[in-house]
Protein backbone atom coordinates (compact mmCIF):
# COMPACT_ATOMS: atom_id res chain seq x y z
CA UNK A 1 0.00 0.00 0.00
CA UNK A 2 1.40 3.38 -0.97
CA UNK A 3 1.96 6.08 1.61
CA UNK A 4 -0.94 8.31 0.43
CA UNK A 5 -3.44 5.47 0.84
CA UNK A 6 -2.07 4.65 4.28
CA UNK A 7 -2.48 8.27 5.40
CA UNK A 8 -6.05 8.53 4.08
CA UNK A 9 -7.09 5.26 5.73
CA UNK A 10 -5.48 6.27 9.03
CA UNK A 11 -7.18 9.68 9.00
CA UNK A 12 -10.61 8.12 8.51
CA UNK A 13 -9.93 5.64 11.31
CA UNK A 14 -8.87 8.48 13.61
CA UNK A 15 -12.00 10.50 12.77
CA UNK A 16 -14.24 7.51 13.48
CA UNK A 17 -12.51 6.89 16.82
CA UNK A 18 -12.80 10.59 17.73
CA UNK A 19 -16.56 10.62 16.96
CA UNK A 20 -17.19 7.51 19.08
CA UNK A 21 -15.02 8.84 21.92
CA UNK A 22 -16.84 12.19 21.84
CA UNK A 23 -20.18 10.38 22.08
CA UNK A 24 -18.91 8.41 25.05
CA UNK A 25 -17.65 11.55 26.80
CA UNK A 26 -21.00 13.25 26.26
CA UNK A 27 -22.89 10.32 27.80
CA UNK A 28 -20.41 10.26 30.69
CA UNK A 29 -20.89 13.99 31.29
CA UNK A 30 -24.69 13.53 31.47
CA UNK A 31 -24.31 10.77 34.01
CA UNK A 32 -21.88 12.82 36.12
CA UNK A 33 -24.30 15.75 36.14
CA UNK A 34 -26.81 13.54 37.98
CA UNK A 35 -24.36 11.76 40.26
CA UNK A 36 -21.81 14.52 40.80
CA UNK A 37 -22.71 15.03 44.49
CA UNK A 38 -21.71 11.45 45.28
CA UNK A 39 -18.37 11.80 43.54
CA UNK A 40 -17.40 15.38 44.40
CA UNK A 41 -19.21 16.21 47.60
CA UNK A 42 -21.58 19.12 48.35
CA UNK A 43 -19.94 21.48 45.85
CA UNK A 44 -20.53 19.04 42.99
CA UNK A 45 -17.33 20.30 41.35
CA UNK A 46 -14.15 18.44 40.50
CA UNK A 47 -10.80 20.23 40.29
CA UNK A 48 -10.34 22.62 37.39
CA UNK A 49 -7.72 20.56 35.56
CA UNK A 50 -10.16 17.70 35.04
CA UNK A 51 -11.88 19.74 32.31
CA UNK A 52 -8.90 18.86 30.10
CA UNK A 53 -9.46 15.13 30.42
CA UNK A 54 -12.40 14.70 27.97
CA UNK A 55 -10.69 16.38 24.97
CA UNK A 56 -7.43 14.61 25.85
CA UNK A 57 -9.18 11.24 25.89
CA UNK A 58 -10.83 11.96 22.53
CA UNK A 59 -7.45 12.91 21.06
CA UNK A 60 -5.85 9.83 22.63
CA UNK A 61 -8.41 7.48 21.06
CA UNK A 62 -7.89 9.18 17.69
CA UNK A 63 -4.11 8.90 18.05
CA UNK A 64 -4.27 5.22 18.95
CA UNK A 65 -6.55 4.47 16.00
CA UNK A 66 -4.32 6.45 13.62
CA UNK A 67 -1.13 4.81 14.86
CA UNK A 68 -2.48 1.27 14.76
CA UNK A 69 -3.86 1.73 11.25
CA UNK A 70 -0.54 3.02 9.95
CA UNK A 71 1.44 0.23 11.60
CA UNK A 72 -0.92 -2.49 10.33
CA UNK A 73 -0.73 -1.05 6.81
CA UNK A 74 3.05 -1.43 6.84
CA UNK A 75 2.57 -5.23 6.73
CA UNK A 76 5.31 -5.76 9.30
CA UNK A 77 8.01 -4.16 7.14
CA UNK A 78 10.11 -1.96 9.38
CA UNK A 79 12.16 -0.61 6.47
CA UNK A 80 9.37 0.29 4.05
CA UNK A 81 9.78 4.01 4.66
CA UNK A 82 13.55 3.81 4.26
CA UNK A 83 13.38 1.88 1.01
CA UNK A 84 10.91 4.38 -0.34
CA UNK A 85 12.97 7.34 0.83
CA UNK A 86 14.34 10.00 -1.48
CA UNK A 87 17.41 9.29 -3.61
CA UNK A 88 20.34 11.49 -2.61
CA UNK A 89 23.11 10.19 -4.88
CA UNK A 90 23.72 8.36 -8.14
CA UNK A 91 26.46 6.10 -9.49
CA UNK A 92 27.11 6.14 -13.23
CA UNK A 93 29.13 3.13 -14.40
CA UNK A 94 30.70 3.12 -17.86
CA UNK A 95 32.16 -0.33 -18.54
CA UNK A 96 34.53 -1.19 -21.36
CA UNK A 97 33.33 -4.35 -23.17
CA UNK A 98 35.70 -4.27 -26.15
CA UNK A 99 37.37 -7.58 -27.15
CA UNK A 100 40.64 -6.48 -25.53
CA UNK A 101 38.90 -6.78 -22.14
CA UNK A 102 38.98 -10.57 -22.63
CA UNK A 103 42.79 -10.62 -22.52
CA UNK A 104 44.30 -12.26 -19.42
CA UNK A 105 46.98 -10.01 -17.97
CA UNK A 106 45.15 -8.49 -15.00
CA UNK A 107 45.05 -9.15 -11.29
CA UNK A 108 47.83 -9.64 -8.79
CA UNK A 109 49.31 -12.65 -10.61
CA UNK A 110 48.52 -11.44 -14.12
CA UNK A 111 46.28 -14.43 -14.97
CA UNK A 112 42.90 -12.76 -14.57
CA UNK A 113 41.04 -11.37 -17.56
CA UNK A 114 40.59 -7.63 -17.71
CA UNK A 115 36.83 -8.10 -17.80
CA UNK A 116 36.88 -10.19 -14.60
CA UNK A 117 39.12 -7.63 -12.91
CA UNK A 118 36.73 -4.84 -13.85
CA UNK A 119 33.81 -6.89 -12.48
CA UNK A 120 35.69 -7.41 -9.21
CA UNK A 121 36.36 -3.69 -8.89
CA UNK A 122 32.74 -2.85 -9.64
CA UNK A 123 31.47 -5.32 -7.06
CA UNK A 124 33.73 -3.77 -4.43
CA UNK A 125 32.32 -0.32 -5.20
CA UNK A 126 28.72 -1.51 -5.07
CA UNK A 127 29.28 -3.21 -1.71
CA UNK A 128 30.50 0.07 -0.24
CA UNK A 129 27.77 2.25 -1.72
CA UNK A 130 24.85 3.39 0.41
CA UNK A 131 22.17 1.12 -1.07
CA UNK A 132 19.19 2.89 0.54
CA UNK A 133 19.92 6.27 -1.00
CA UNK A 134 21.94 5.38 -4.12
CA UNK A 135 20.65 4.53 -7.58
CA UNK A 136 22.90 3.04 -10.24
CA UNK A 137 22.92 3.79 -13.94
CA UNK A 138 25.11 1.56 -16.09
CA UNK A 139 26.28 1.68 -19.69
CA UNK A 140 28.76 -0.41 -21.62
CA UNK A 141 30.93 0.86 -24.46
CA UNK A 142 32.91 -0.36 -27.42
CA UNK A 143 32.52 1.84 -30.49
CA UNK A 144 29.93 3.87 -28.55
CA UNK A 145 28.10 3.76 -25.22
CA UNK A 146 24.94 1.68 -24.83
CA UNK A 147 22.64 2.12 -21.84
CA UNK A 148 22.03 -1.09 -19.85
CA UNK A 149 19.98 0.12 -16.89
CA UNK A 150 19.02 3.44 -15.35
CA UNK A 151 18.44 4.41 -11.72
CA UNK A 152 18.20 0.88 -10.32
CA UNK A 153 18.67 -0.10 -6.69
CA UNK A 154 19.41 -3.80 -7.27
CA UNK A 155 23.20 -3.97 -7.10
CA UNK A 156 23.28 -7.65 -8.07
CA UNK A 157 21.61 -6.78 -11.36
CA UNK A 158 24.29 -4.19 -12.09
CA UNK A 159 27.15 -6.50 -11.18
CA UNK A 160 25.78 -9.34 -13.34
CA UNK A 161 26.15 -7.16 -16.42
CA UNK A 162 29.90 -7.15 -15.83
CA UNK A 163 30.20 -10.81 -14.83
CA UNK A 164 30.78 -13.14 -17.81
CA UNK A 165 28.20 -11.46 -20.05
CA UNK A 166 29.58 -11.09 -23.62
CA UNK A 167 28.23 -7.60 -24.21
CA UNK A 168 30.67 -6.95 -27.05
CA UNK A 169 28.47 -9.24 -29.19
CA UNK A 170 25.91 -6.42 -29.35
CA UNK A 171 28.35 -4.27 -31.37
CA UNK A 172 29.68 -4.51 -34.89
CA UNK A 173 33.46 -5.14 -34.89
CA UNK A 174 35.41 -1.92 -34.98
CA UNK A 175 37.65 0.39 -33.00
CA UNK A 176 37.09 1.29 -29.38
CA UNK A 177 36.08 4.93 -28.92
CA UNK A 178 36.32 6.02 -25.30
CA UNK A 179 35.84 9.69 -26.19
CA UNK A 180 32.59 9.16 -28.07
CA UNK A 181 31.35 6.85 -25.34
CA UNK A 182 32.04 9.41 -22.62
CA UNK A 183 30.11 12.04 -24.54
CA UNK A 184 27.17 9.67 -25.02
CA UNK A 185 27.18 8.55 -21.38
CA UNK A 186 27.08 12.17 -20.26
CA UNK A 187 23.70 12.47 -21.95
CA UNK A 188 22.31 9.59 -19.91
CA UNK A 189 22.78 11.52 -16.66
CA UNK A 190 22.30 15.09 -17.85
CA UNK A 191 18.94 15.49 -16.11
CA UNK A 192 20.05 14.18 -12.72
CA UNK A 193 20.25 16.63 -9.77
CA UNK A 194 23.30 18.84 -9.68
CA UNK A 195 26.41 17.30 -8.07
CA UNK A 196 24.66 14.03 -7.28
CA UNK A 197 26.51 11.62 -9.62
CA UNK A 198 29.74 9.70 -9.09
CA UNK A 199 30.98 8.76 -12.57
CA UNK A 200 33.01 5.53 -12.66
CA UNK A 201 34.81 4.49 -15.86
CA UNK A 202 36.32 0.96 -16.06
CA UNK A 203 38.55 0.41 -19.06
CA UNK A 204 41.91 -0.88 -20.27
CA UNK A 205 42.59 2.39 -22.04
CA UNK A 206 42.28 3.97 -25.43
CA UNK A 207 43.96 6.73 -27.39
CA UNK A 208 41.91 9.90 -26.84
CA UNK A 209 42.17 12.74 -29.39
CA UNK A 210 43.14 16.20 -28.22
CA UNK A 211 39.72 17.63 -29.15
CA UNK A 212 36.11 16.53 -29.29
CA UNK A 213 35.68 15.71 -25.62
CA UNK A 214 32.57 17.37 -24.15
CA UNK A 215 32.43 18.71 -20.63
CA UNK A 216 30.65 16.50 -18.14
CA UNK A 217 27.12 17.61 -17.18
CA UNK A 218 26.62 19.58 -13.96
CA UNK A 219 25.06 16.50 -12.36
CA UNK A 220 28.52 14.91 -11.99
CA UNK A 221 30.28 15.59 -8.71
CA UNK A 222 33.20 13.14 -9.09
CA UNK A 223 34.81 11.33 -11.99
CA UNK A 224 37.00 8.29 -11.44
CA UNK A 225 38.77 6.59 -14.33
CA UNK A 226 39.99 3.11 -13.36
CA UNK A 227 42.42 1.18 -15.55
CA UNK A 228 42.69 -2.62 -15.76
CA UNK A 229 45.26 -4.81 -17.44
CA UNK A 230 49.02 -4.75 -17.31
CA UNK A 231 50.61 -1.37 -17.97
CA UNK A 232 54.05 -2.84 -18.70
CA UNK A 233 53.54 -5.94 -20.85
CA UNK A 234 51.17 -5.82 -23.79
CA UNK A 235 49.21 -8.62 -25.45
CA UNK A 236 48.94 -8.79 -29.23
CA UNK A 237 45.37 -8.33 -30.55
CA UNK A 238 43.88 -6.86 -33.73
CA UNK A 239 47.25 -5.98 -35.21
CA UNK A 240 48.67 -4.11 -32.22
CA UNK A 241 50.00 -4.55 -28.72
CA UNK A 242 47.22 -3.95 -26.20
CA UNK A 243 48.10 -2.79 -22.69
CA UNK A 244 46.69 -0.44 -20.10
CA UNK A 245 47.73 3.05 -21.18
CA UNK A 246 47.68 4.63 -17.72
CA UNK A 247 49.35 7.81 -18.99
CA UNK A 248 46.50 8.45 -21.44
CA UNK A 249 43.86 7.52 -18.85
CA UNK A 250 45.39 9.83 -16.25
CA UNK A 251 45.46 12.65 -18.79
CA UNK A 252 41.82 11.99 -19.67
CA UNK A 253 40.83 12.12 -16.01
CA UNK A 254 42.60 15.45 -15.57
CA UNK A 255 40.92 16.91 -18.66
CA UNK A 256 37.54 16.11 -17.12
CA UNK A 257 38.47 17.28 -13.63
CA UNK A 258 38.52 13.77 -12.20
CA UNK A 259 41.02 11.26 -10.85
CA UNK A 260 42.77 8.17 -12.20
CA UNK A 261 43.42 4.90 -10.39
CA UNK A 262 45.34 1.87 -11.61
CA UNK A 263 43.03 -0.91 -10.53
CA UNK A 264 45.01 -3.75 -12.03
CA UNK A 265 46.41 -4.90 -8.67
CA UNK A 266 44.74 -2.71 -6.04
CA UNK A 267 41.12 -2.13 -5.18
CA UNK A 268 39.72 1.38 -5.46
CA UNK A 269 40.50 3.29 -2.23
CA UNK A 270 37.48 4.47 -0.26
CA UNK A 271 38.96 7.97 -0.23
CA UNK A 272 38.25 8.20 -3.97
CA UNK A 273 34.62 7.21 -3.35
CA UNK A 274 34.01 9.48 -0.38
CA UNK A 275 30.86 11.11 -1.76
CA UNK A 276 29.36 7.76 -2.74
CA UNK A 277 30.15 5.84 0.45
CA UNK A 278 29.68 8.61 3.01
CA UNK A 279 26.65 8.31 5.30
CA UNK A 280 23.59 10.29 4.35
CA UNK A 281 24.08 13.92 5.38
CA UNK A 282 20.73 13.76 7.16
CA UNK A 283 21.71 10.61 9.03
CA UNK A 284 22.90 12.50 12.10
CA UNK A 285 19.67 14.44 12.39
CA UNK A 286 16.60 13.20 14.18
CA UNK A 287 14.05 12.33 11.52
CA UNK A 288 10.44 11.38 12.11
CA UNK A 289 9.11 9.13 9.38
CA UNK A 290 5.53 7.94 9.02
CA UNK A 291 6.15 4.73 10.95
CA UNK A 292 8.02 6.51 13.75
CA UNK A 293 5.24 9.08 14.02
CA UNK A 294 2.67 6.28 14.27
CA UNK A 295 4.59 4.64 17.12
CA UNK A 296 4.82 7.98 18.95
CA UNK A 297 1.09 8.65 18.50
CA UNK A 298 0.23 5.15 19.71
CA UNK A 299 2.48 5.44 22.78
CA UNK A 300 1.18 8.91 23.71
CA UNK A 301 -2.46 7.90 23.26
CA UNK A 302 -2.07 4.71 25.28
CA UNK A 303 -0.29 6.62 28.06
CA UNK A 304 -3.16 9.13 28.32
CA UNK A 305 -5.82 6.41 28.38
CA UNK A 306 -3.98 4.40 31.04
CA UNK A 307 -2.96 7.28 33.33
CA UNK A 308 -6.14 9.37 33.17
CA UNK A 309 -8.26 7.10 35.44
CA UNK A 310 -5.49 6.92 38.05
CA UNK A 311 -4.95 10.69 38.08
CA UNK A 312 -8.69 11.33 38.31
CA UNK A 313 -9.01 8.92 41.20
CA UNK A 314 -6.18 10.47 43.22
CA UNK A 315 -6.22 14.15 42.24
CA UNK A 316 -9.61 14.68 40.58
CA UNK A 317 -11.50 16.03 43.59
CA UNK A 318 -10.62 17.96 46.75
CA UNK A 319 -13.53 16.31 48.65
CA UNK A 320 -12.73 13.07 50.44
CA UNK A 321 -15.44 11.11 52.28
CA UNK A 322 -14.72 10.69 55.98
CA UNK A 323 -14.32 7.18 57.37
CA UNK A 324 -17.28 5.82 59.27
CA UNK A 325 -17.18 6.31 63.10
CA UNK A 326 -15.85 3.42 65.17
CA UNK A 327 -19.22 2.83 66.92
CA UNK A 328 -20.97 2.54 63.56
CA UNK A 329 -18.39 0.03 62.38
CA UNK A 330 -18.91 -2.05 65.56
CA UNK A 331 -22.68 -2.04 65.10
CA UNK A 332 -22.33 -3.06 61.48
CA UNK A 333 -19.99 -5.83 62.51
pLDDT digits (tens, 9 = 90+) for 18-71: 999 999 999 988 888 787 777 677 766 778 888 888 999 999 999 999 999 988
pLDDT grade, residue 79 (50/70/90)? Answer: very low
41's torsion region: left (phi>0), alpha (psi -120 to 50) or beta? left
Looking at the structure, do residues 38 and 125 belong to the same domain, yes or no?
A: no
Looking at the structure, do residues 22 and 140 belong to the same domain, yes or no?
A: no
Q: Which domain holds residue 95?
A: 89-277
**Which parts of the chain fold into alpha helices (H)?**
3-40, 53-73, 80-83, 114-128, 155-162, 178-188, 246-255, 274-277, 290-315, 326-332
Supply φ then ψ for residue 150, to 5 degrees. -135, 125
Mean per-residue pLDDT of the chain? 81
CATH code at 166?
3.40.50.410
Looking at the structure, do residues 258 and 161 belong to the same domain, yes or no?
A: yes
Q: pLDDT digits over 161-202, tens only? A: 887 777 878 888 878 888 889 999 999 999 998 988 999 999
Looking at the structure, do residues 314 and 177 belong to the same domain, yes or no?
A: no
Looking at the structure, do residues 191 and 209 belong to the same domain, yes or no?
A: yes
Q: What pLDDT is recorded for position 265?
A: 83
Supply φ then ψ for residue 112, to 5 degrees. -90, 145
135's torsion region: left (phi>0), alpha (psi -120 to 50) or beta? beta
Of 143, 69, 27, which is closest to residue 293 (Cα–Cα)? 69
Looking at the structure, do residues 172 and 246 belong to the same domain, yes or no?
A: yes
Q: Centre a 10 Å sphere on the Cβ of residue 188 and count the other Cβ atoms it contains.
A: 18
Looking at the structure, do residues 24 and 127 belong to the same domain, yes or no?
A: no
Looking at the structure, do residues 62 and 113 belong to the same domain, yes or no?
A: no
301 pLDDT higher than 70: yes
176 within 8 A of 98, measured Cβ to Cβ: yes
Looking at the structure, do residues 236 and 273 belong to the same domain, yes or no?
A: yes
Domain-located, residue 324: no
Number of domains making up the chain: 2
For 33, 36, 328, 329, 333, the CA distances from 323, given in Å and listed in that order, are 25, 20, 10, 10, 15
Where among 226, 248, 277 does a domain terminate?
Answer: 277
Where among 277, 302, 328 does a domain terminate?
Answer: 277
Q: Centre a 10 Å sphere on the Cβ of residue 179 and count the other Cβ atoms it contains.
A: 17
Amino acid sequence: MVKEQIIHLAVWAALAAAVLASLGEWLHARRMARLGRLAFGPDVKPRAWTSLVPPLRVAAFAGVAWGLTVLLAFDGSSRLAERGGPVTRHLMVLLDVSPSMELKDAGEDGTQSRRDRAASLLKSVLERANSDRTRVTMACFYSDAMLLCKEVSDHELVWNFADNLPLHMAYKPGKTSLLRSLNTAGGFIRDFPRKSVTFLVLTDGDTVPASGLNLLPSSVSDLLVVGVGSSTMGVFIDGHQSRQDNAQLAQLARRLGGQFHDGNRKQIPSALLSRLTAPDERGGRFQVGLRTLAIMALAAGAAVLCLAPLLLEVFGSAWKPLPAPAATREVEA
